Amino acid sequence: MAGVSVPLVPLVNQKTVTKETLLESQQQLELSISEITPLIEQQQEAYQQLIAKLPLKTEKELTFSVPEQFQGKTIYQVGLNSKDKIVALTFDDGPWPKTTNEVLYILKKHNIKATFFVLGTNVKNYSGRLKQIVEHGHAIGNHSWSHPYSYQNPSAAALEIDRTEDLLYKISGVKTSLFRPPGGFLNNGLAAYARKTN
């Protein structure tokens, strides 16, 4: 019968884990968290004060609609024939669990509408946030399923766009004709497929 013998080397500076040492570690962690919380609250308060200093605008100055000549078009560069200053506020790559809530709060506070170009993978993971976006009256657009930059053959492009489109409709009841290609790449197959479907 063969055997193996392993020398035992005493461990230096090793603590035995006991209930007391675990409780001590937990108390230190709770103390660290309690020290950080006021700093976070101060940061949020400072941000709110900064927002409050922004000049108040009338509703007319804050509301806008997409000019008809741009609806359903692939826009490369635009010269506006208007004296009005027009801004389209958009957010890409969400929805995110925390950031989307913060953005929705600020938009609601200032009565501003925006367009959220969402990723299918994030909609799948944070479907409640998509519902909130729609409930707040914002537009949603398709930003693909997985945000690919590389060339997508027609079947891969269809999967990226259609899979996202189907999930958007299933969760929110909204069918969107808006599509923004990831990274603004218009020649990787996604924009071409999106044009065919609109």
What CATH number does the domain containing 95 carry? Answer: 3.20.20.370
pTM of the predicted model, to two decimals? 0.61
N residues, the chain: 198
What are the tens digits of pLDDT across the range 34-90? 666 666 677 777 766 666 666 554 444 444 455 666 665 666 555 667 788 778 899
Residues 30 and 123 in one domain: no
What are the tens digits of pLDDT across the range 154-190? 999 999 999 999 999 999 999 998 899 999 888 999 9
Q: Which of 28-42, 95-109, 125-139 shows the lowest mean pLDDT across its residues?
A: 28-42
Determine the residue type at 169: Y
Residues 119 and 168 in one domain: yes
Number of domains in the chain: 2
11 within some domain: no
- Taking the C-alpha atoms of residue 171 and residue 122, their distance in angstroms, rounded to an integer, is 12
| 95 upstream amide cis, omega within 30 of 0 | yes
- Taking the C-alpha atoms of residue 26 and residue 188, their distance in angstroms, rounded to an integer, is 51
Residues 157 and 107 in one domain: yes
Residues 161 and 111 in one domain: yes
Residues 142 and 121 in one domain: yes
Q: List all residues 6 or more positions away from 183 whose beta carbon is below 8 Å from its beta carbon.
A: 147, 149
Decide if pLDDT at 2 tops 60: no
